[in-house]
Structure 1
Amino acid sequence: MNALGWGLLLAVLLAGWAVLDGAVQGGVPLVRALGGRDDPRRRTVLATVAPFLLLGEVWLVAAAGVLLAAFGHAEATLWAAGYPCVVALLVAWVLRDAALWLRSRLPSPRWRQGWDGVGQVASLALPAAFGALAGVAWVRFSVVAGQADGGSGAAQALAVALPTVTAGLCVATTRVHGALVVAARAPEAVAREARRRVRRALVPAAALATLAALGALDVAALGTSSALLAAAALIAAAGVALAARFDLDRGAHRTGAVRAAGPVLAVVPVVATVAVVGPQVLALAAPPTVLHGLTWPVLAAFAGVLAAQAVTWRVLVRPLGPRTAVFL
C-alpha cells in the first residue's frame, strides 16, 4: 500500500472516531440538562451513548498508530506546533473516561453529581482540543510545505483565529450529533427534549461551519489550493444543518436531513482537515519500503477490528428497552 492508501486509511480511522466517539462527546454534556436531579433519568441519557465509548476509542488508538508508523515526520511537526492542544486532548480524554466509569461506583448523590460535572466539562474540552489541533494543522502544514510565510500578518492572524473557530465548530457539531443519538435511542420523554436541544444547536453549528469555510478560503489564498475542497465540504455541511433545522421547525424529525445532520456534522471537521493538510502529510510519509512492509499486518488487524465492531454494534446499539444492559 502506497502513501495515498495509508493516508486514506488514516482519514477513515479519524472519521470513524469522530462519528462514534462524537456521539459520546455530544451526549454526556446533556446528562444534567436532560436528566435534572433524577439519577435514573441521568443514567438513561448515559446509556444511550455508552455503547459508542469503547467502539470509538479503538478507532482513535488505531489512527494514532497509523500516524506514528506511516507519517512520523508529520506527527512530529503536528506535535511541535500543537503541543498544548495535544496535552489538553489527552487530559480531557482521560477525565471523560474516568468520569463515565467511576460515576456509578458509589451510591452517593454527591459522588455521582460530581463525576457528572467532570464528565460534562471534559466532554466539551475533548472536541474543543481536537478542533483547535485541526486548526493549528491547517496553518502549520501550509507553512511547512513552503506555500505560505509563517511570519506574514495573514498567517499569524489565521494561526490565532482559525483554531478558535475550528474548536467551536467541533463542540457545536458533536452537540448536534450526540443529541440526535440520544433522541434516537432514548424513551420518548427524553427524546423529545433531546430534539429541542438539537434544534437549538443546528444554527450555531451551521454558522461555525460557514466561518470555518471562510478560514479555509483564507488558507487557500495563502497557496494551499486543496483548502478549496475543505471550504466546499464545510458549506455543504452548513446546508445540511439548516435543512435539518427547517424540518424540525415544521415538526418532522425523521427526515433524511435530520438523520444525516449528526454524522455529517460530526465528520466534516475531519474531512476538511484531510482536504487541507492531505497533500502535505502525504509528502512527509515514510519510505515506500517501510509502508509496504507494514501493509499486510495492519490491514489484517483492521479487518479484525471491523469484524469485532460489527458484532458489538449489533449487540449493543439498539433502542433502549427494559432488558437493555447498562454498564455505566
Structure 2
Amino acid sequence: METLAIALLAFFTTGWSVLAGADLGTGMLMPWLGRNDRERRLVLASFAPFFLGNEVWLVATAGVLVGCFPTLEGELLSGQYPVVVALLAGWILRDAGLWSRGRGPGPRWRAACDAAVACGSWGVALSWGWLLAALLTGRPYAPATGATALLTALAVAAVFAAHGLGFAALRLTGLPYERARRLVGRSGHPWQSFALTAVLMGGPALWAGTALPLAERAAAPGTLGLLVPALLVVTPLLVAVQGWIWHTFRHRVTGPSYL
C-alpha cells in the first residue's frame, strides 16, 4: 500500500505541474500576449475552462499528503511555511483577479484584476520553484536560501512561462496568437512545444520527490488500506473529467470568456 500511495502522490503532483502550469504560464504572460482589454479577455478565454479543474489536482495532492503521509505533511509544511504561504497567496490573488474582473465598475478595475492575475501567477510559479529548490538541495524541512534557491525559482518560473506559451499557441487566435507563436517558433506543430515543456514541468517534481522519506513516513497500514483503494476508484473519474474538458475545449478561442 505504501508503494501505491507514493505512486498516487507522484501522479497528482505531476498532473498539477503539467496541467495547472499551462494556465499559470499563460497568466504570467497575459500583459505581453494581450495589449488591450479585448486581447486580454481573449487570453483569459484560452484557459478559463481549465483552471478550476486544474486546481483540483493540487487539492488532491494535498489530500494524499495529509491522508497517507500525515507525519511528513506536518514536518514538511511547518518547515516550508513561508513558501506555502507565498504559494497560497499567489493562488488566491490570481483567482481573485479572475473572478472579480468582470464584476467591477470600469477599465481601471479590469486593469487591476489583470495585474492580479499576472502577479498571482508569477507568485505561484516562483513559490513552486522555491519549494523545489529546498527538495532538490536535500533540505526538505527548511526553506532554500542563497543563489541556488533564487536560480532554481527563476528557472522553474521560466519553464512555467514556456509551458504557457505552448498552451497559448494552441488556443489563441489573432495578434495574441502571433505573439505566442513568435516565441514558440514556427517550425513544427505547437503540440510539440507543449509536449516538451510538459516533460520539463513534470520532471523536477518527480525528482524532488525522491528527497522525501515517503515510505518511512507513510500512515498506518490500516489507514492506507482505507484511503488508497478509495483514491484508486476516484482517480480514473478525475482523469476522465479532465480528458472531457480538454476534448470539449480543444478548439481555438475567437471571443472573450465569461470572466
* TM-score, normalisation: structure 1: 0.73
Indicate whether 1:135 and 2:69 are aligned. no
State the identity as a percent.
Answer: 34
Secondary structure of the residue that 1:104 maps to in structure 2?
helix
Distance 2:191 2:239 in 1: 26
1:5 positional shift: 1.1
CA distance in 2, matches of 1:78, 1:163: 17
Contact in 2 for aligned 1:174/1:265 (Cα 8 Å): no
Offset from partner CA, 1:285-309 (integer Å, 9 cap, x none): 1122221121222222223222222
CA separation in 2, counterparts of 1:111 and 1:129?
Answer: 26
Q: CA deviation at 1:162?
A: 3.5
What is the match of residue 230 of structure 2? 297
CA RMSD of aligned residues (A): 2.2
Gaps of 5+ in 2: none
- Structure 1 residue 49 and structure 2 residue 35: aligned? no
Q: CA deviation at 1:67?
A: 0.2
**Structure index of larger Rg:** 1
Q: Give yes or no for the alignment of 1:307 onto 2:240.
A: yes
Corresponding residue for 1:28? Answer: 27
Asked whether the 8 Å contact 1:30–1:45 carries over to 2, the reply is: no
Residue 187 of structure 2 is matched in structure 1 by 252
Deviation at 1:313, TM superposition (A): 2.4
1:80-229 counterparts in 2 under 5 A?
Answer: 80-106=78-104, 108-138=106-136, 139-141=138-140, 159-198=145-184
Cα offset for 1:255?
7.0
**Native 8 Å contact 2:160 2:201 kept in 1:** yes
Shift of 1:192: 1.8
Q: Distance in 2 between matches of 1:177 and 1:288?
A: 39
Please state how far the C-alpha of 1:108 moved relative to its aligned partner.
Answer: 0.6
Q: Following TM superposition, by how much is the alpha carbon of 1:187 offset from its aligned partner in structure 2, in angstroms?
A: 0.9
**Distance apart, 1:31 and its partner CA:** 1.8
Q: Larger deviation: 256-265 or 63-72?
A: 256-265
How many Å apart are 1:282 and its aligned residue? 2.0
In the TM superposition, residue 107 of structure 1 has moved relative to its aligned partner by 5.1
Cα shift at 1:19: 1.2
- What pairs up with 1:216-295 in 2 under 5 angstroms? 248=185, 251-254=186-189, 257-274=192-209, 276-278=210-212, 280-295=213-228
* Contact 1:15 1:267 (8 Å CA) reproduced: yes
Give the letter for the 2:15 counterpart. Answer: G
Counterpart in 1 of 2:257?
326
Measure, in 2, the Cα distance between the counterparts of 1:327 and 1:31: 17
The number of aligned residues is 258
Instruction: Choose 12-21 or 164-173, whichever is displaced more.
Output: 164-173
Q: Distance in 1 between matches of 2:46 and 2:105?
A: 21
Q: Which runs of structure 1 show a deviation greater than 3 angstroms over 4 or more consecutive aligned residues?
A: 158-162
Partner amino acid for 1:326?
S
Letter in 2 for 1:93: W
- Contact 2:129 2:156 survives alignment (8 Å): yes
Give the structure 2 partner of residue 62 of structure 1.
60
Structure 1: which amino acid aligns with 2:118?
Q
Distance 1:188 1:252, change over 3 A: farther
Higher relative contact order (CA 8 A, sep 6+): 2
Structure 1: state its 5+ residue gaps.
Answer: 145-149, 151-155, 199-247
Residue number in structure 2 paired with 1:3: 2
Query: Separation in 2 of the partners of 1:27 and 1:255?
Result: 14
Deviation at 1:74, TM superposition (A): 1.3
